[in-house]
Structure 1
Amino acid sequence: MGNQQSTAQIVAPLSFLYDFAAQQYGMFSKPNMLDVHNQNLAAFSPQPFFIAGFFFPQQLFQLAYLWKLWRGEGNAQEREVMEKYAWWYSLGNVCIGTWMFFWNSSKLEVSNVFVVINTLSQLFYISMLLPALDTRSTPSIITHVVAKTFAGIGVLDLLHNTSVAYFKDVPPSSLVQIATGVGFAAAASVSDGIFGGCLVYDLVALSMGQHGSWSMLLGGYAAMTAGIVGLRNWF
């Protein structure tokens, strides 16, 4: 256990640094990731500044998680939760960091492979492996926030990258519009406030990135999703 713990404490921060360095490359290279975004628009292209607005506070929670992981804070059970998540967290960072290089090269189909791996793995972790939230435990709270926000923004990444990789400039069909509402409503019905809040944020970002009736419909879906999450967590 000691060897596994020390490995997790090293791998997780290194994965964060890799992803952070890749993001700097993505912002300052030419073309940068915003240039590629603007050149490849589709029905699920969000307002890009919403993504930046999400990642800044989310990275602060990541740093808090990494600090507690590195210091081995908490009791044995709390440390075990943080260490087990560290491997899924590291996988996510490696996927998103690698995604950046293909995205900035406009190899959108290849970049989408890494988005799919990241999003599905994070959703699997929070739905199947993440222990219940202990509101009396700071390590538990921080782990839940990082894991669920990672998965939550991953949903937006998956919709966005898949749409631009395979359906660039294609308007959403009636089936896609209905499926979007049904999918988010279903996800909201089983979500807590953290992940559910991310789903609402995703829809607002999509609504602000689109126009016309599709934008208005996405805004309505955001209100609907917020209502479902609120009611579920109230009761």
Structure 2
Amino acid sequence: MGVSLSTARYLAPASFLYDFAAQQYGLWSSPNMMDIHNQNLSFFSPQPYFIGAFFFPQQLFQLAWMYRLLTLNDKNPSQAKDLATIQKFVPYYALGNVCIGTWMFFWNSSRLDISNIFVIVNTLTQLWYVNTQLEPMDTRNWNSILTHVVSKTFAGIGVLDLLHNTSAAYFVGQTPSMLVKALTGVGFAALGASSDWILGGCLVYDLVGLSVGQAQYGDQSWSSLLGAYAVGTAAIVGAKNYFRPPYVSRAAPYKQVAQDEVDDRA
């Protein structure tokens, strides 16, 4: 799935504006998204302000990323590779924005079964992209950093969206079974074991948001278990990335060459 550079430069901002407009509709319509949330509480209902607190800084990163998309020069060899990496993500970014924006209309219409389709498509697409299509992040390249932050925060919050919407659509008022509790722990542990610091941090944030929400809604034991899962997932992410650093540095080879030259002179 790819698009031309000229198309990408229209598609990304247009999809961002569509999603932003849909979110404003969700906030200010009646019933609004919070009303629907409160009417459909379940065992994966998070503290809703955790989601809002996540999206605000994420949108700032999106704007910075789009600025790079619009201003990098594809005729400049030093910028062309970075631009190609950004451009590659644009179709998935646009699909995510369209899914999230369209989700809002069905969510606010209390058609959570239909809204769940858009959540599933978005979450699975973003997870597939970051795990199979994204090159390792170059810590000395802001274009690479921004692409990783935007794509992985999309995927990370998508996991929470999937759990939340599915439980609200089909399990309103229910408590989690032992199978759900076990699968939650195993699932987050598995995702954490394959995540870098960015995606892994999002997963921990998801669990904290769920834990706080479940405590607020009265299921203290499930909240405590989710909190324990957050600690465990953080430990897995930390250990994995400590022993297998996920990032690269474009300057590293030059440092090694310089060191080799010093050794040769000695």
Same fold (TM over 0.5): yes
Q: What corresponds to 1:37 in structure 2?
A: 37
Give the distance between the partners of 1:112 and 1:45, measured in 2 at CA: 14
Q: What corresponds to 1:63 in structure 2?
A: 63
2:225 aligned with 1:221, yes or no?
A: no
Q: What corresponds to 1:6 in structure 2?
A: 6
> In structure 2, the residue corresponding to 1:75 is in which secondary structure?
helix
Give the drift of 1:174.
0.5
Q: What corresponds to 1:195 in structure 2?
A: 199
Give the distance between the partners of 2:12 and 2:49, measured in 1 at CA: 27
> In structure 2, the residue corresponding to 1:132 is in which secondary structure?
coil
Q: What corresponds to 2:186 in structure 1?
A: 182
Give the distance between the partners of 1:178 and 1:107, measured in 2 at CA: 29
2:109 aligned with 1:105, yes or no?
A: yes
Q: What corresponds to 1:230 in structure 2?
A: 238
TM-score norm. by structure 2 comes to 0.86
2:161 aligned with 1:161, yes or no?
A: no
Give the distance between the partners of 1:48 and 1:200, measured in 2 at CA: 16
Give the drift of 1:93.
0.2
Give the distance between the partners of 1:173 and 1:72, measured in 2 at CA: 51
Q: What corresponds to 1:21 in structure 2?
A: 21
Give the drift of 1:72.
2.3
> In structure 2, the residue corresponding to 1:170 is in which secondary structure?
coil
- Equivalenced residues, count: 233
2:81 aligned with 1:81, yes or no?
A: no
Q: What corresponds to 2:249 in structure 1?
A: none
Query: What is the identity, as a one-letter code, of the residue corresponding to 1:131?
Result: E
Give the drift of 1:40.
0.3
Give the distance between the partners of 1:28 and 1:194, measured in 2 at CA: 31
Give the drift of 1:160.
0.3
Give the drift of 1:231.
1.1
> In structure 1, the residue corresponding to 2:4 is in which secondary structure?
helix
Give the drift of 1:75.
1.4
Query: What is the identity, as a one-letter code, of the residue corresponding to 2:190?
Result: A
Give the distance between the partners of 2:5 and 2:20, measured in 1 at CA: 23
> In structure 2, the residue corresponding to 1:10 is in which secondary structure?
helix
Match of 1:206 among 210, 221, 231: 210
Give the drift of 1:143.
0.2
RMSD: 1.0
Query: What is the identity, as a one-letter code, of the residue corresponding to 2:83?
Result: R
Query: What is the identity, as a one-letter code, of the residue corresponding to 2:194?
Result: V
Give the distance between the partners of 1:198 and 1:224, measured in 2 at CA: 14
> In structure 2, the residue corresponding to 1:182 is in which secondary structure?
helix
Give the drift of 1:70.
1.1
Give the drift of 1:212.
1.3
> In structure 1, the residue corresponding to 2:41 is in which secondary structure?
coil
Give the distance between the partners of 2:65 and 2:24, measured in 1 at CA: 21
TM-score norm. by structure 1 comes to 0.97
Give the distance between the partners of 1:129 and 1:190, measured in 2 at CA: 14
